[in-house]
Amino acid sequence: MINSSIIDAVLEEALKTGGDFSELYVQDSDFNTITMTDGKVDNANYQRKAGAGVRVLKGTRCSYAYTADTSEEALIAAARAAAAALKGEKEYDVKPVCVNRIGRSGASIPFSEIDNIKRIELLKRATNAAKAHSAEITQVQATYFDCTHRTAVYNSDGVHAEDNRPRTRIRVNAVAMADGVAQTGSTAPGMGMGFEAYSEYIDVEDVGRDAARQAVTMLHAPECPAGTVPVVIDGGFGGVILHEACVHGLEATSVGRGNSVFCNKLGQQIASPVVNAVDDGTLKGEWGTMNFDDEGNPAQRNVLIENGILKSYLVDILGSRLMAHPITGSGRREDYTYMPTSRMTNTFFAPGCDDDEEMVATMGDGLLAMKMGGGSVNPLTGEFNFAVDEGYWVKNGKILCPVRGATLIGKGADVLMKIDRIGKKMWMAPGMCGSASGSIPTNVGQPRIRVSEIVVGGKGGAL
């Protein structure tokens, strides 16, 4: 992306005030977004975002400057601005290139070869399928998104790494209404690949039907009862519990500053022995996958929890300095306006050996959470609350009826210890995760799991 002589000049300039490490991050990305309401296109937007950032480290001190102008003059100015935060004499030189990494695109059908007619056709098919599901569906909004995210990272340790990350996602929101009451359903699959995703992995009619089915089901559901009961959480987006209530607390962003309930817990049991948890940025074609992270390190499979024992944190370059922990290929950022921090990629509970139906049949009275919604978590304490977008009340081991308005409340560390069943089939669901380095694409996933006891919030009475 940038001439090698300019790269060296920028990295050298950044070291002039005593830094021991400098880094140049360059980005050039294309985004396409189309939204449709009830079969009519609301807007079609194309955006290109390009720029660069220079980071300087000295021990555990860090400074960063960025610019949308990638000319040599602007990059040198950014390097000087980053270096200005340090006061000292130059001690280190830029090393010759010793690691040169080039990542493949991962797109069989690049988005640059696709016109908006094909994108709009996907939205129409999804919309028509949702509307055809039930006369109670009163509105359908569908959104198509794709991006090609090209990055390059060059640092003073001699690493040059370039990556090309295609991603695409389609979301359908359906509204069902009866007797003045409305409920919504939403489904939004996504993949880390080109337009071939829609012929190989994503059936847009199924996406539309599923959103409509959820909306109609919740429309006729009573309010969920409240209490402390067993809860079975289905796969896919159920993994948001692991993501929010546990793994945010395993990122160096929290652990390196002592702001996590999991500080100093390596090698200790933090979960039930049936629990194995992984963050894997190498999975082919997945939403959170990359060849290299935003610090130029190879993506990797990180076993976080093994048989309930904490095995690793997620650590970037700065986090490694703070924690004396190996780098895990987890340095990520939204774009060039952010410094990288330790972040997740594709995070999931690994498959277990339990039967999905047995989990429900032996749970007594409780909640089957089929789809999780949004929520909040305190990484310092692990306390969380999450909405259940689609839930079913279980009585004497049998599904009684759908329920709405359910909320799961608890502490991540407690929930991990109370998982007593994990199913055999794991699948993932895409999302956007916000943290110190912006909003990034991450997958959450799990098989069906059972938590022996958790607080369920709801407004309903006994069922």
| Closest among 164, 163, 165, 127 to 144, alpha carbons compared | 127
**Quick one: 97 and 204 in the same domain?**
yes
Cβ contact 355:346 at 8 Å: no
What tokens were used for 433?
Answer: 């995760």
Q: What is the span of the domain harbouring residue 276?
A: 227-457
Per the DSSP assignment, residues forming a β-bridge with 325 are none
**Quick one: 42 and 63 in the same domain?**
yes
Is the residue at 443 inside a domain? yes
Is the residue at 258 inside a domain? yes
CATH number for the domain harbouring residue 10 = 3.30.2290.10
Residue where a domain terminates, one of 193, 219, 245: 219
Is the residue at 345 inside a domain? yes
Give CA–CA dist 57/11, Å, rounded.
12
**Quick one: 444 and 390 in the same domain?**
yes
Q: What does the pLDDT read at residue 298?
A: 97
SS3 per-residue string spanning the chain:
CCCHHHHHHHHHHHCCCCCCEEEEEEEEEEEEEEEEECCEEEEEEEEEEEEEEEEEEECCEEEEEEECCCCHHHHHHHHHHHHCCCCCCCCCCCCCCCEEEECCCCCCCCHHHCCHHHHHHHHHHHHHHHHHHCCCEEEEEEEEEEEEEEEEEEECCCEEEEEEEEEEEEEEEEEEEECCEEEEEEECCEECCCCCHHHHCCCHHHHHHHHHHHHHHHHCCCECECEEEEEEECCHHHHHHHHHHCHHHHEHHHHCCCCCCCCCCCCCECCCCCCCEEEECCCCCCCCCCCECCCCCECCEEEEEECCEECCCECCHHHHHHHCCCCCCCEECCCCCCCCEECCCEEEECCCCECHHHHHHCCCCEEEEEEEEEEEECCCCCEEEEEEEEEEEEECCEEEEEEECCEEEEEHHHHHHCEEEEECCCEEEEEEEEECCEEEEEEEEECCEEEEEEEEECCECCC
Is the residue at 463 inside a domain? no
**Quick one: 326 and 436 in the same domain?**
yes
Is the residue at 67 inside a domain? yes
Q: What does the pLDDT read at residue 382?
A: 82
Cα diameter, the chain? 74
pTM here is 0.95
Q: What does the pLDDT read at residue 105?
A: 86
Instruction: Measure Cα distances from 29 to 97, 147, 192, 360, 405 in Å.
Output: 25, 7, 15, 46, 39
| Closest among 216, 443, 245 to 346, alpha carbons compared | 443
The amino acid at residue 352 is G
Residue where a domain terminates, one of 155, 189, 219: 219
| Closest among 27, 9, 419 to 239, alpha carbons compared | 419
What's the total number of domains in the chain?
Answer: 2
**Quick one: 353 and 314 in the same domain?**
yes
Neighbour tally for 98: CB within 10 Å: 9
Q: What does the pLDDT read at residue 113?
A: 97
Give CA–CA dist 15/21, Å, rounded.
7
**Quick one: 346 and 297 in the same domain?**
yes
Q: What does the pLDDT read at residue 461?
A: 86
**Quick one: 161 and 242 in the same domain?**
no
Give CA–CA dist 335/346, Å, rounded.
19
Is the residue at 462 inside a domain? no
Is the residue at 232 inside a domain? yes
Neighbour tally for 49: CB within 10 Å: 16
Neighbour tally for 309: CB within 10 Å: 17
**Quick one: 231 and 187 in the same domain?**
no
Instruction: Measure Cα distances from 332 to 73, 353, 419 in Å.
Output: 26, 33, 30
**Quick one: 447 and 310 in the same domain?**
yes
User: pLDDT digit of tens for each residue in the chain (463 aa)?
Assistant: 789 999 999 999 999 999 999 999 999 999 999 999 999 999 999 999 999 999 999 999 999 999 999 999 999 999 999 999 999 999 999 999 999 999 988 899 999 999 999 999 999 999 999 999 999 999 999 999 999 999 999 999 999 999 999 999 999 999 999 999 999 999 999 999 999 999 999 999 999 999 999 999 999 999 999 999 999 999 998 889 999 889 999 999 999 999 999 999 999 999 999 999 999 999 999 999 999 999 999 999 999 999 999 999 999 999 999 999 999 999 999 999 999 999 999 999 999 999 999 999 999 999 999 999 887 788 778 889 999 999 999 999 999 999 999 999 999 999 999 999 999 999 999 999 999 999 999 999 999 999 999 999 999 888 8
**Quick one: 315 and 285 in the same domain?**
yes
Q: What does the pLDDT read at residue 200?
A: 96
Q: What does the pLDDT read at residue 245?
A: 86
**Quick one: 285 and 193 in the same domain?**
no
Is the residue at 68 inside a domain? yes
Cβ contact 387:442 at 8 Å: no
**Quick one: 197 and 280 in the same domain?**
no
